Amino acid sequence: MAGLSFTGFFLMAYGEKGQMNLRQASIFIVTSFVVMSLFGSLPYIYLTRLGRTLMAICSVNSLFESASGFTTTGLSMITQPENLPQSFNFYRAYTQWVDGLSFIYLVMIFFPEEKLSAWKSVLGGGMLQFKEFLVTLVCIFSVYTVVLVFLLLLTGQIADIYAVSAVFATITGGGFFAYLRFYFAGQHWFPRSHQRRHDTLRAPLRLPLLHL
């Protein structure tokens, strides 16, 4: 993240400022995803050096895992995500959340500013400028995230860090969950690691169990 921030500040300070055409915007979008994927692959390589060999990590696989997160594809080479450190599971889900915000910004590059006036009936107020429209969408995206995390924590069936990771993966449609498999007991979804605790409740109640 520090590397991405430095790159962004460098381009803002020394890059050429001006209105982009369609060709330049297309190149910018592709380059953005490539650069984010390259920077994002470094933690996966570092994780292997710590002895966390949960996938056959090489440079290509690390880049694939990072690109899958930043593009919210959801495909993963990690076979046992529940054995990863909690901080790393958060990072995997966070890459998807970052892409959710980045996608809004990148799409708006193709969105002519005069067309933003059509949103005034939806968001209220008069003519929206580019920055105002972007801030409004970011606020909506963030509020949804906070509310969903709070509702998930109210269930009391999942740890804080996993609740945040699950919401990040859900709200963006990426699917980088901290658990590989979930199971269904009665009318509730639980991570696989909680199965033993809830099996004691399921036995006398004869609740159905559906493995995914």
Domain chopping of the chain, boundaries: 2-180
Per DSSP, what are the bridge partners of residue 185?
A: 188, 209
Please, is 56 exposed, middle or buried when counting C-beta atoms within 10 Å of its C-beta (0-12, 13-18, 19+)? exposed
pLDDT on residue 8: 65
Give residue-wise pLDDT tens across range 150-202. 887 887 666 777 788 888 888 877 777 766 655 444 444 445 444 443 443 33
pTM of the model: 0.63
Is residue 190 helix, strand or coil? Answer: strand
Give residue-wise pLDDT tens across range 48-91. 655 555 555 567 778 888 888 888 787 777 777 777 777 788 88
Give the contacts of 175 (CB within 8 A, at least 6 positions apart): 74, 169
Nearest to 4 by CA among 43, 41, 47, 40: 40
pLDDT on residue 16: 65
Q: Do residues 92 and 176 lie in contact, with contact meaning Cβ atoms separated by under 8 Å?
A: yes
Helical segments of 1-58, H only: 2-14, 22-40, 42-49
Q: Do residues 93 and 71 lie in contact, with contact meaning Cβ atoms separated by under 8 Å?
A: no
Query: In the predicted model, is pLDDT for residue 37 greater than 60?
Result: yes
Q: Do residues 148 and 170 lie in contact, with contact meaning Cβ atoms separated by under 8 Å?
A: yes
* Cβ atoms < 10 Å from Cβ of 162: 21
Nearest to 177 by CA among 76, 101, 52, 104: 76
Is residue 89 helix, strand or coil? Answer: helix
pLDDT on residue 209: 38
Across the chain, what does the average pLDDT equal? 68
Token pair 């580019």 is found at 130
> Percent of the chain scored above 70 by pLDDT?
54
pLDDT tier at 128 (50, 70, 90 boundaries)?
Answer: low
Q: Do residues 72 and 100 lie in contact, with contact meaning Cβ atoms separated by under 8 Å?
A: yes
